Amino acid sequence: MKRRTRTALFLLALVCFAGVLAAHETWILPASMRVPVGRPVEFSLTSGMTFPSDQIPVAPERVERSEVRLSNEIEPLSRPRSAPRALRYVWTPRVPGVATIAIELAPRSLELKPAEVKEYFDEIHAGPAIIAQWDSVPKPRRWRESYTKHATSYVRVGGAGPDSSWKSAMGLGLEIIPERNPTAITAGEKLPVRVLLNGSPLAGFSIGARHEGRSRSAFVATDNSGRAVIALPAKGRWLFFGTHLRRTSEPNLEWRSDFVTMTTYVAPAGTR
């Protein structure tokens, strides 16, 4: 009982702190990342800082787009069910292949106090250029931001076969796209990816990689073509994430950002 009370208080504190809440990653996690044809699979959509645990539920009305692609066929996900700490989707694959699940949330706004900005920068792994921009703003200064969240995940259906649709973008505003079958990676291998912002390569973008149950992340930056290679030393579920933050001169807004995540499963070494 005491443990549940402490958890509830912790979550309430997170919700009350807008800066930390905005920095939470929002990810899709299938109940199983390898399923046979015809068997329903459940996906969870949640926000938090302790991947892969569900922490903070996403309101259904925030979901602007929820789709799954399998063998180049795209279909909308059915209406989700609200759970205490996540949204739950159920989908049944009809053919073998590698399914790409994509969800995009509507933009939301936040305002930070100047004293909260440094912690926010730490949370999103902000680069020196962004920090310098903020430092150059004359006082008194405000931080009003509009942020949008984008998430993908992958499920192998049956033997997968020749389906290579996972190579193609889903058309999200910000997207991490694998350049190797993300359901055929084993521990100790590397996953090449590319990052697109509104369909164009995003250079110098910092991608975080976090293994399930770990609190620390490794980071790698994309090159001029928006590409990077991520080392995956351990088996299990992985979260890849990043935030594209930039200044804007829009009315009543100083900053705009896009948060992106991708999840996948890494098999034990020597298996496929």
In the predicted model, residues of the chain with pLDDT beneath 70 are 1-23, 272
**pLDDT attached to residue 206:** 97
Q: What is the largest CA-CA distance in the chain?
A: 60
Tokens of 254: 């100083």
**pLDDT attached to residue 193:** 98
**pLDDT attached to residue 272:** 66
The size of the chain, in residues, is 272
For CA atoms 35, 151, 64, 15, the dihedral sign is positive
**pLDDT attached to residue 12:** 37
Q: Is residue 114 helix, strand or coil?
A: helix
**pLDDT attached to residue 271:** 77
Tokens of 143: 């931080």
Distance of CA 133 to the CA centre of its chain: 25
DSSP H or E run through 252:
none
